[in-house]
Amino acid sequence: MRARVFLQALLWLPLAPLLLLLSLLLSQRNMMLALVLAVVLVHQAAAECKNCVTLGKDEKAMFRAHSEACLAQSQVDPKLVDSLLRGELIDDPALKKHVYCVLLKCKVISKDGKLQKAVVLGKMAHRADGKNVTKVLERCADQGGQTPEELAWNLFRCGYDKKAVLFDYMPIKPSATGDNDA
């Protein structure tokens, strides 16, 4: 489990600094072995999450901008948003409001909190990783909830639990780690 957590942390690093770090730490002979091992591990980790969509640079920027804009509206504690981005889903009304706001601004859901299937699935169809994500989204589309915020939260939870879409490769603040644009 510890190695898996470390590997997930490595996936956030851009490849060039990672290789530079390896070259400084290892001898030349061990460098080749480490490089081969790193390629195999990254390939294996990517294969484990066939439903994941890695956000591009523009998508990360859009997500960050919407998240920042939603902070005032949702009045969520920024620490809860940081926890969310680290994969800790805390059941909090303000955080649910925040997720609703972000998904609404990203045009993933409608005002009633329901998935905008046609829009989202249309965007996914053009992506190489879209087929598997589409299946997960279709399974998660009909979530229950008494408010739009609860519907959006339940959709988010379902996608997160199934390791889909934005939910496995969440963009973290640029100051925390570098962008994974590879």
Cα 175 → chain centroid: 17
On the 0-12 / 13-18 / 19+ scale of CB atoms within 10 A, 128 is exposed
Residue 51 confidence (pLDDT): 42
Q: Are 109 and 152 in contact (CB under 8 A)?
A: yes
Q: Are residues 79 and 120 in the same domain?
A: yes
Q: Are residues 65 and 143 in the same domain?
A: yes
How far, in Å, CA of 150 to CA of 146, rounded?
6
Tokens of 42: 């990254």
118 domain-assigned: yes
How far, in Å, CA of 30 to CA of 35, rounded?
9
167 domain-assigned: no
Which three-class secondary structure state does DSSP give residue 115? strand
Residue 17 confidence (pLDDT): 53
pTM of the model: 0.61
| Phi/psi-derived region of residue 180, left when phi > 0, alpha when psi is between -120 and 50, beta in every other case | beta
47-60 tens-digit pLDDT: 444 444 556 677 67
Looking at residue 171, the DSSP 8-state letter turns out to be P
Tokens of 139: 């399974």
Q: Are residues 88 and 156 in the same domain?
A: yes
125 backbone dihedrals φ, ψ, rounded to 5°: -60, -30
Q: Are residues 91 and 146 in the same domain?
A: yes
Where in the sequence is the domain holding 36, given as residue range(s)?
A: 2-48
Q: Are residues 34 and 73 in the same domain?
A: no
173 domain-assigned: no
pLDDT by position in tens, the chain (length 182): 333 344 444 444 444 554 555 455 544 444 444 444 444 444 334 444 444 455 667 767 777 788 888 988 899 998 988 887 777 788 999 999 999 998 888 888 899 998 888 877 777 667 666 666 677 777 888 888 999 999 999 988 887 777 654 443 344 444 344 443 33
